[in-house]
């Protein structure tokens, strides 16, 4: 292996400890306990597991977690009213609506109902729009993209002036990651299903972000020697030899890429743990802003 591991698990542990220290200080000096409300609609098992992980880590960081588990058939009006109540609750500093929502609900309308100053997930349409503008900051940036950039920073991987390629323009990860890298001075290429010569374009990248949801698609010969490769994929792939009958894989063929890249994130243990760490960091920031301690 020639690449250095961008260890999301270890980095996220450090960030969670930093957040916990910040929470303790805020409570000791200002009598404020940051609170995160998680809104889960319906019974999607993956969403249930993500939300319970977020709530657990919130409590471990000594924040308050307010879980709102709402019925699958809730009306748009009732969901919007639940969010309005959380907007008005002073104990709540951050609100996260777990996606995807059931089909009858309007994602855009739901996310737009969250108060901007509590949008710690960074998915409010105004925050997404601000992310695309020069010289305007969102109140919060989305957590997985923020986690990708934070990992690069903590391993001193330079961004300014570098060529970045983002594979997959999803609203949740690809596009916002591209915008964060652009604002940090990277030169950007965003690839999508119609892009011709994905391997050739990928190979130009100093920073390659794989967000295409295709297990092990990025091969060693897609990667420029020494590049930083960030894998945001996560899928279960059948494997009879594994204890559970499956293996977790990202978008990157790790065994090949680790021999070529300068830095690479593992899956699991890369960008996944960073996402919740950034959510906790955003929630602390929201509470500090409300207390008038930071802008």
CB of 97 to ligand GUN, least distance (A): 6
Radius of gyration in angstroms for the set of CA atoms belonging to the chain, rounded to a whole number:
19
Nearer to ligand GUN, 172 or 257 (CB): 172
Dig out the tokens for 146 from the structure: 């923020």
- Least Cβ distance, residue 82 to ligand GUN (angstroms): 15
Kindly tell me which of 172 and 261 has the beta carbon lying closer to ligand GUN: 172
Concatenated DSSP letters of 40-82: EES--HHHHHHHHHHHHHHHHTT-EEEEEEE-TT--HHHHHHH
- Which is catalytic among the residues 54, 118, 162, 258? 54
For residues 27 and 242, give the distance between their C-alpha atoms in angstroms, rounded to a whole number.
45
Nearest approach, Cβ of residue 121 and ligand GUN (Å): 5
Catalytic site residue 98? yes
> Of the residues 98, 119, 162, 231, which is catalytic?
98
CB closer to ligand GUN out of 98 and 251? 98
Catalytic residue among 57, 118, 119, 121: 121
Minimal distance in Å, beta carbon 99 to ligand GUN?
Answer: 4
- Interior/surface letters 86-116, b for 16+ CB within 10 angstroms, e for the rest: bbeeeebbbbbbbbebeeebeeeebbbbbee
**Catalytic residue status for 121:** yes
- Which residue number places its CB atom closest to ligand GUN? 99
- The residue ranges that bind ligand GUN (CB under 6 A) are 96-99, 121, 143-144, 172, 275
Q: Which residues are catalytic?
A: 54, 98, 121
């Amino acid at each position: 292996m020639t690449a250095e591991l961008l260890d999301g698990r270890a980095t996220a542990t450090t960030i969670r400890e930093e957040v916990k220290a910040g929470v303790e200080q805020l409570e000791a000096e200002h009598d404020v306990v940051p609170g995160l409300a998680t809104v889960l609609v319906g019974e999607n098992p993956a969403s249930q597991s993500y939300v319970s992980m977020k709530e657990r880590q919130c409590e471990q960081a000594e924040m308050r977690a307010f879980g709102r588990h709402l019925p699958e058939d809730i009306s748009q009006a009732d969901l919007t009213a639940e969010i309005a109540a959380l907007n008005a609750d002073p104990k709540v500093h951050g609100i996260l609506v777990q996606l995807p929502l059931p089909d009858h609900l309007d994602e855009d309308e739901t996310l737009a109902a969250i108060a901007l100053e509590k949008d710690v997930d960074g998915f409010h349409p105004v925050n997404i729009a601000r992310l695309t503008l020069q010289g305007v900051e969102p109140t919060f940036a989305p957590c997985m993209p923020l986690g990708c950039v934070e990992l690069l920073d903590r391993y001193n991987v330079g961004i300014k002036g570098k060529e970045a390629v983002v594979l997959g323009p999803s609203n949740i990860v690809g596009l916002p990651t591209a915008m964060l890298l652009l604002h940090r001075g990277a030169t950007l290429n965003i690839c999508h299903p119609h892009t011709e010569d994905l391997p050739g374009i990928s190979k130009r990248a100093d920073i390659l972000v794989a967000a295409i949801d295709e297990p092990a698609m990025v091969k060693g010969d897609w990667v420029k020697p020494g590049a930083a490769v960030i894998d945001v994929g996560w899928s279960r792939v059948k494997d009879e030899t594994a204890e559970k009958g499956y293996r977790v894989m990202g978008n990157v063929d790790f065994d090949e890429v680790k021999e070529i890249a300068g830095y690479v994130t593992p899956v699991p243990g890369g960008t996944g743990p960073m996402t919740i760490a950034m959510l906790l960091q955003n929630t602390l920031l929201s509470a500090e802003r409300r207390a008038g301690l930071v802008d």
